Amino acid sequence: MPSKQPLIIDGKSISVKVKESLVPTIQKLKKQGVTPGLAVILVGDDSASQSYVRMKEKAFEAMELFSETFRLPEMTTQPELEQLIDELNREDRFHGILVQLPVPENLNELKIILKIDPGKDADGIHPVNLGRMVLGVEAPLPCTPHGILMLLKYSGIDPKGKHAVIIGRSNIVGKPIANLLWQKRALGNATVTLCHSRTKNLPALCQQADILISAIGQPHLIDRNYVKDGAVVIDVGINRVDDPAARRGYRLVGDVNYMDVIDKVAAITPVPGGVGPMTIAMLISNTVYLAEKSIQT
Ligand code: NDP
């Protein structure tokens, strides 16, 4: 059991630092007549997606950046959505385009992502940009994995030589964070194990982790049986659980049972207030990066 108090990795305050670090670039761009701009496309009325989009709108407004949300009905067709993306690809005021995922089942997510101009891919999930990321070539990085790297950086945690165990293999979190952590670069050089729902002996594998990252969407599944003494735990999960005492009738919890593991860990991200704010900060960072690139080419 670690003798020191665990470090609570405060994503809110680290996200503020990341956003502050972007201010000089934003000011420089504005002097050149460019205000970084983001187009957000939200299809349907999933309430979690609506609330994520509102948070993104507020964050852009607070940074005095431009954003516009295109709210489309649930029954939007693939050609209608692709036509909108084509139009946004051509509009100079938008340096970044983000389609809020997941989209309704009648839409083809991969085709949608492929429609976005890789030079406007604010989420960093277009195959061109993911390919560049894998090759270690400069690209807008996927927001949540990039945010996790920033959490580690600002907390003074170097993954070099550590064993990172990641649970979850989605295209937006698990696969890219695994890839970034083993790359030969700053905030990389870890040895990585990637787990998923077919992994056998998951608790035993997780117990080997110096850095344990959970992105599975299962409330409180990860308890102390999955955690090694002194581990760094990054909880990506955002899960709604019923809570009649809460104003909205639910509260948000992570994949990790925070109270159960807190006396074992060296550092941990809370939910909410851990990875979530970083995802938005990195979206802003990507939009600013894409705006800069747009005037260099
Ligand atoms: P997906 O829902 O796309 O995938 C979940 C992954 O977890 C899959 O690889 C699945 O395995 C694996 N999995 C599910 N259950 C188990 C289990 N019991 N044991 C082991 N593996 C399991 O994941 P996302 O990455 O989109 O989202 C994961 C969570 O992170 C969600 O709660 C989401 O809301 C949250 N999230 C938070 C963000 C933030 O900013 N904080 C950003 C993005 C997501 P298999 O592949 O075998 O099915």
Please give the CATH number for the structural domain made up of 142-276. Answer: 3.40.50.720
From atom 5 of ligand 1, which residue's Cα is the shortest distance away?
216
Q: Is the CB of 222 under 6 A from ligand 1?
A: no
C-alpha to C-alpha distances, 284 to 23, 196, 287, nearest whole angstrom: 11, 30, 5
CA-198 nearest atom, ligand 1: 47
Q: Given this model, what pLDDT does residue 297 score?
A: 66
From atom 36 of ligand 1, which residue's Cα is the shortest distance away?
237
User: Does residue 1 have a pLDDT over 60?
Assistant: no
User: 95-135 pLDDT, tens per residue?
Assistant: 999 999 999 999 999 999 999 999 999 999 999 999 999 99
User: Does residue 38 have a pLDDT over 70?
Assistant: yes
User: Does residue 2 have a pLDDT over 70?
Assistant: no
Q: Is the CB of 174 under 6 A from ligand 1?
A: yes
Q: Is the CB of 170 under 6 A from ligand 1?
A: yes
Mean pLDDT of 169-180: 98
Q: Is the CB of 256 under 6 A from ligand 1?
A: no
User: 227-264 pLDDT, tens per residue?
Assistant: 999 999 999 999 999 999 999 999 999 999 999 999 99
Could you tell me if 9 and 153 are in contact, meaning their C-beta atoms sit under 8 angstroms apart? Answer: no
CA-217 nearest atom, ligand 1: 32
User: Does residue 65 have a pLDDT over 80?
Assistant: yes
Cα 170 to averaged position of ligand 1 atoms, centre (Å) = 6
Q: Is the CB of 196 under 6 A from ligand 1?
A: yes
From atom 40 of ligand 1, which residue's Cα is the shortest distance away?
276
Residues of the chain with CATH 3.40.50.720: 142-276
pTM of this prediction exceeds 0.85: yes
CA-169 nearest atom, ligand 1: 9
Q: Is the CB of 144 under 6 A from ligand 1?
A: yes
Taking the alpha carbons at both ends of the chain, their separation in whole angstroms is 54
Q: Is the CB of 214 under 6 A from ligand 1?
A: no
Helix (H, G, I), strand (E, B) or coil at 267: strand
Residues of the chain with CATH 3.40.50.10860: 33-117
3-class SS shares of the chain: helix, strand, coil, % to 5: 40, 15, 40
Q: Is the CB of 239 under 6 A from ligand 1?
A: yes
Q: Given this model, what pLDDT does residue 214 score?
A: 98
Could you tell me if 117 and 89 are in contact, meaning their C-beta atoms sit under 8 angstroms apart? Answer: yes
Closest CA to 191 of 166, 174, 217: 166
User: 195-217 pLDDT, tens per residue?
Assistant: 999 999 999 999 999 999 999 99
Numbers of helices and strands, H then E, in the chain: 10, 11
- Which residue among 196, 201, 225, 284 is best mutated to probe the pocket of ligand 1, counting the most ligand atoms within 8 A of its Cβ? 196
What is the second-level CATH architecture of the domain 33-117?
3-Layer(aba) Sandwich (3.40)
CA-48 nearest atom, ligand 1: 34
What are the catalytic residues? 56, 100, 123
- Which residue among 238, 252, 269, 282 is best mutated to probe the pocket of ligand 1, counting the most ligand atoms within 8 A of its Cβ? 238
Cα 194 to averaged position of ligand 1 atoms, centre (Å) = 12
In this prediction, residue 3 has a pLDDT band, given cuts at 50, 70 and 90, of: low
Query: 198-235: buried (b, 16+ CB within 10 Å) or exposed (e) per residue?
Result: eeeebeebbbebbbbbbbbeebbbbebebbbeebbbbb
Which spans in the chain are helix H? 11-31, 47-62, 78-90, 109-115, 127-135, 143-154, 174-182, 202-206, 258-261, 275-296
Q: Is the CB of 275 under 6 A from ligand 1?
A: yes
User: Does residue 30 have a pLDDT over 80?
Assistant: yes
